[in-house]
Amino acid sequence: MKTYYKIMIILSVSLLIICVGAVSLFYLPKNDGIKSGPPKITVLDTASEVSINPNSYVPEYSFTRGQKIWVYIEYTNISHGGSSDFLINLSITHQDGERLALIEDRITKDEKACFYYFNTNESWPAGLYVVSSELTDSISGGDTVRLTAFNLM
């Protein structure tokens, strides 16, 4: 009889552990607002036109002088329990090394994407340009860089 009771207790405890595990996996709320890891730029693209509502654009990598160049950036891991404080440094550099544009922006809203634009003119030389986006999280201290390129004719 003692063996029977031991087996019943072991089975009952095992069943209880399985039930608690199932409840924690499926029914307890998850805290998706807090992301871990360093900040990450997931998308960096150039475009000639954008739509702010909703955020949409068509990537384009060839432009003519005088044309407005939009830069679209998506990022993750910049929210800390609903708080955000990060810096974006966005620069455009010609293939010869000359930097022709720079934007520095501080963002404190919990966003997932943003647009910036540059107005080109006849003084910008034709050729290949590199767009560099550096994102620095002021809360965690983490940073990340992403590059893309376009041609200006």
What six digits make up the tokens of 99? Answer: 């930097």
Class of domain 40-152: mainly beta
* HSE, side-chain direction, 13 A CA sphere, residue 144: 18
C-alpha–C-alpha distance, residues 115 and 56, integer Å: 10
What is the predicted pLDDT for the residue at 126? 96
Q: Where are the domains of the chain?
A: 1-30, 40-152
Q: Per-residue pLDDT tens, the chain, 153 aa: give them.
A: 577 766 766 656 565 566 555 555 555 444 444 445 788 999 999 999 888 777 788 999 999 999 999 999 998 887 777 788 899 999 999 999 999 999 999 988 878 888 999 999 999 999 999 999 999 998 888 899 999 999 999
The pLDDT value recorded for residue 98 is: 95
CB of 78 within 8 A of CB of 42? Answer: no
pTM for the model stands at 0.72
Contact 50, 68 (CB under 8 A): no
Q: What is the per-residue pLDDT for 125?
A: 95
Please, are residues 84 and 126 in contact by the beta-carbon 8 Å criterion? Answer: no
With b for 16 or more beta-carbon neighbours within 10 A and e for fewer, the 49-62 pattern comes to: eeeeeeeebeeeee
pLDDT at site 109: 84
Residue 100 CB neighbours (<10 A): 16
